[in-house]
Structure 1
Amino acid sequence: MSVHTPGSAPEISPPGTADQGEGSLNTKPMRRILASSFIGSTIEFYDFLLYATAASLVFPQVFFTGLDPALATILSFITLAAGYVARPLGGIIFGHFGDRLGRKGVLVTSMVSMGIATLLMGLLPGTAQVGALAPVLLVLLRVWQGIAVGGEWGGAMLIALEHAPGGKRGFAASFANLGAPAGSSLAALALGAASLLPHDQFIAWGWRIPFLASVLLVAVGLVVRLRVSESPLFTRFQAEAERRRIPIVEVFRTNAKNVVLGVLVAMTQLTISGIATVWAVGYAVAQGAEQTGVLSAKSVSAVAMFVTAITAARLSDRFGRKPVIAVGIVAAILFAYPMLLLVQSGTVAGFAVAVIVGQAIQGIILGPLAAFLAELFPTSVRFTGASVAFQGASAIGAGFTPVIAASLVAATGGIVLLGGVWIGVLVICLGALLVSAEGRRRDLTTMISR
């Protein structure tokens, strides 16, 4: 069995190997695997992104009452960031067990954990009932959510990628990422429907309904997920994996460079998410845009991201991960200022164009991203390595972006500085992509350790 070593050229599988052969995704077991990856991640991201929307529109009035509106919004975004900061910890914890014991068990555990945390959020009393304890409990539950979703993405992505033939890995792995726009759309629709209630009722209890309803979604997801088989690559090399007693140590000992590059590349689409779908929602409403229209536009934008993500994933199987991702990053750089100006217009139409185009660009990056990150790491530590890279980017890119955006706009009274900072970050991340390795033609069956 050959071993991929640092600095060597990407290994190309001979024709007919399980990894690089064309194969088919249209078989009953593979359809079940892709459905599990998609449905499970959709539910997880519904829960996670429901909080993001509520943090912009609801939580300042429920958990941070009596404060200046701008300060209340910033504090609400800080609780949002707490969940993103916890995601790398979830990637390390679940990655440890996923790399040593298997991918499937992690998927079930992460889903149940997320469902419980979201249910408790829906039952959490506000500051008016329990005082300062309310935001403290909110932060603790958000951290719990972050840990759960930190384990979800890696497991859902790998269970699909490691079952798929090599020529279709990008498309298969994208099903875990497609859960993000699908979950975001469901979350926006659910909260948008609840917001049709009179404002006082919506703030008093209406916003809780989408949180409580997640229990039903989790039950459906578990039925699908429990029927999925373990990753064949993990099963084949389980003995090698079990010798990695602490996978996170091995990741940073042998793959630290790839972790850094993975974080920077993944940050590109996550900064778009943090600005377009979190910060911009509250900012557009504050500028005069009608709330229900904004939420409806956000829901439509998730559909745009879904379409471009699945298209970009297919293109990455043909042309490579790096060229497709590079197109998305360049498009994000060019659209940064136009998007911010459209959001600042204070109209639903302006916000709709901004968020739909922004999410479509995000999809170009998101589609190939799962496979790009997974192909940076060997099988024995792939769960941990890919999860830490993606969730580390989530913590920095999506977790702090709304806070930074709100702070920069509050300090300067406009979007000029925010746009400049955002473009600078995207340029740095584009450089990281250019120096990283292309993994489309790597044979994962020989990529065991480094």
Structure 2
Amino acid sequence: MEWYDYYLFGLAAALVFNRLYFTTLDPRAASLAAFATFGVGFVARPLGAVLFGSIGDRVGRRPALILSVALIGVATACMGVLPDFTAIGIAAPVFLVLLRLVQGVAVGGEWSGAMTIAVEHAPPEHRSRLASLVQLSSPVATLLSSGAFTLVLMLPPESFDAWGWRLPFLAALPMLGVAVFMRIRIDESPEFREVAREGARTRVPFAAVFRRAPGRLGIAILISMLGVGGFYFMNTFLVNFGANERGFDRQLMVNATLVAAVVQAGVTLWSGRLAERFGPGRVTLWGGLATAVVAFPVFWLVDSQQPAAAVLAVCLGLSAVILAYGTAGSALAGLFPTELRYSGVSLGYNLAAVVGGFLPLAAQASLGASGGASWGPAALFALFGLATALGGALAHRVSRSPDA
């Protein structure tokens, strides 16, 4: 549910917010403004990492997860009733930014908490495989969010703009009830209970991460660059690029993300199995290199302006990203001791998000510099792949040398 809420904003930034909340700008500038608003949520994520990491490492994994999902559900539902620019003027984008900030704070503790509690419940020999199951929340959320937009895009354009796009956001409320019920029933992590019983909890966990494990935090940031930036690059920027720059129908580009989500689920499970055999750091390395290799072909396919090629492009690019992302959770969790794990994973993942979240904005800006040519966004995509490949190589080395 958390990713469903977060992904909705990405799709709406590409298809709705640029037209209804930034209406005084020309189309390309409006897309830049919408993607900047999208990126604002990532700036707030380190704050969420500090807040929820402290709760998770001091109070418990379960309370942090209950609070994070409640916060994002309420913020997303409020977006569904937010008046647009024609109704309240400049207040509309201002409130949109504020709600996006709340989303960012909530997500700052969500993924890391879910991954931490899953890893700590798993047998050591199956941690990579079971950690990849947490990553299935991403394609499932993509199917739900893209599927919701696919349905409302069937409405007449005037109905879609007036109220149809709001329905997927309002669906967050009933989903919130289910999510909170499920999380209340989760058992606390046995490893956290052991740390609490021994009195080994750290007073200020996030500060201890910087003091005791700065090198490992740097590796965690590199590992997370592609999973954060690359995913939104494909599901947000490429949707906008295909629809607004290359003339594809909006429905086709959204449908492409649905097809890619099915492929993503398979690659996610495969990456977990590979990580059990070869190590999560090594598989992360492979995923980063694969992304760098396919970055330019992805855009060549979209530039061909053939519908089937556009769908293939989204599937190809997202598969490479997910090869790295699918095993990122176990790679990150293995970098930090139990008493710092929630904070360490949160900080690494969400500091990377500050950069990665603005990748769609940077890619959109690069189109202006290149006169609309696709080489700029492709180069940025490849660069993020190489950064994560380096992180994977370093994580593999650290895992083989625990004292490094």
Distance 2:75 2:275 in 1: 36
Match of 1:367 among 323, 326, 342: 326
Distance 1:284 1:386 in 2: 34
Residue identity in the other structure for 1:165: P
Q: 1:441 to 1:228 in 2, by over 3 A?
A: farther
Q: Deviation digits for residues 395-434 of structure 1, max 9, x if unmatched?
A: 211x110000000012212112332343234334323322
Q: Give the TM-score taking structure 2 as reference length.
A: 0.95
Distance 1:44 1:194 in 2: 21
Q: Is 1:420 aligned to residue 351 of structure 2? A: no
The answer as to whether partners of 1:192 and 1:296 remain within 8 angstroms in 2 is: yes
Q: Give the TM-score taking structure 1 as reference length.
A: 0.86
Counterpart of 2:234?
Answer: 276
Residue identity in the other structure for 1:132: I
User: Structure 2: any 5+ residue segments left out of the alignment?
Assistant: none
Counterpart of 2:317?
Answer: 358
Match of 2:119 among 158, 161, 178: 161
- For 1:58, what is the secondary structure of its paired residue? helix
Residue identity in the other structure for 1:272: G
Match of 1:232 among 190, 206, 210: 190
Q: 1:421 to 1:51 in 2, by over 3 A?
A: closer
Distance 2:186 2:258 in 1: 30
- For 1:275, what is the secondary structure of its paired residue? helix
Q: Deviation digits for residues 2-47 of structure 1, max 9, x if unmatched?
A: xxxxxxxxxxxxxxxxxxxxxxxxxxxxxxxxxxxxxxxxx00000
Distance 2:270 2:386 in 1: 24
Counterpart of 2:277?
Answer: 318
Counterpart of 1:217?
Answer: 175
Counterpart of 2:339?
Answer: 380
The answer as to whether partners of 1:376 and 1:437 remain within 8 angstroms in 2 is: no
Match of 2:57 among 93, 99, 114: 99
Distance 1:289 1:207 in 2: 20
State the Cα distance separating 1:120 from its structure 2 match.
0.2
Distance 1:311 1:196 in 2: 34
State the Cα distance separating 1:308 from its structure 2 match.
0.4
Q: Is 1:436 aligned to residue 378 of structure 2? A: no
Counterpart of 1:292?
Answer: 251
Q: Is 1:174 aligned to residue 132 of structure 2? A: yes
Matches within 5 A, 1:128-277: 128-239=86-197, 243-277=201-235
- For 1:435, what is the secondary structure of its paired residue? helix
Distance 1:346 1:126 in 2: 32
- Computed over aligned residues only, the root mean square deviation of the Cα atoms, in angstroms, reads 1.9
Residue identity in the other structure for 1:111: V
Counterpart of 1:301?
Answer: 260
State the Cα distance separating 1:212 from its structure 2 match.
0.2
Counterpart of 1:127?
Answer: 85
Distance 2:394 2:106 in 1: 32
**Higher relative helix content:** 2
Distance 1:344 1:84 in 2: 29
Distance 1:299 1:224 in 2: 26
Counterpart of 1:328?
Answer: 287
Q: Is 1:87 aligned to residue 28 of structure 2? A: no
Q: Which segment drifts farther, 168-177 or 241-250?
A: 241-250
Match of 1:342 among 298, 301, 317: 301
Counterpart of 1:39?
Answer: none
Distance 2:17 2:320 in 1: 29
Match of 2:21 among 63, 70, 87: 63
- For 1:245, what is the secondary structure of its paired residue? coil
Distance 2:222 2:399 in 1: 19
